[in-house]
Amino acid sequence: MTSKEILAFITDIGIVPVVRTPSADSALRSVEAIYNGGVRAAEITMTVPGAVRVLEKLADRFGGKIVLGAGTVLDPETARACMLAGAEFFVTPSLRISTIEMAKRYSKVICPGALTPTEVLTAWEAGADIVKVFPCGNVGGPKYIKALKGPFPQIEMVPTGGVNLENTGDFLKAGACAVAVGSELVDAKTIKEGRFDVIQERARQYLAAVAKARSEMHAAAGA
């Protein structure tokens, strides 16, 4: 897939599950549950033990059926290792220009973390495909995205941190192109209990929330 196709695919789904688990096995099982719930994208964070190997296993298992991303990527070297393992998009917690350059060199999608208006614009000017606004929930949630979209309507944004089932629609209506969901979808307690069916059902619920919000937005635009 080209970077444009990957970007369109992620935006179309509207949700990026952030898989941050205590073991490689639980990460693999979580992605399987997310996939069975209908979500065709997943971000494996570098805090997962053996994260690069997890990406390799998922790429082998799911082939072209799911778009895999690497999260918590702190430097270009890590981005390159994840790329070779099968990651198609990269998410960083902070703004590092050299990591953006690495992704662009190989025509992969890069979603660097930023928070302030200056960081958001700097990330975009450096070549970000989407700017991850993090930690969004701590600074106003959907209202903060709406405030940023005022001066930056051209910048695609994905809020991370504080996104849940109740406010997913609000984030999209505020102007986010998608939302990134972490522990509200894949959490330690559910994993410890082995309840991957719960994660599967949550994935379905998030897709339904995205569809509902977009339907309401479409209706409002046509009114």
Catalytic residues: 43, 132
Sign of CA dihedral 169, 74, 188, 30: positive
Q: 159 - beta bridge partners?
A: 133
For residue 88, the SS3 value is coil
E-strand ranges in 141-188 read 157-159, 179-181
What do you get for the CA distance between the two ends of the chain, in Å? 36
Longest dimension (CA), the chain: 51
136's CB contacts (< 8 A; 6+ apart) are 144, 145, 159, 160, 161, 162, 163, 171
- Determine the angle formed by the axes of helices 24-36 and 196-222, rounding to 10 degrees: 40
Q: Are strands 89-91 and 109-111 parallel, antiparallel or unpaired?
A: parallel
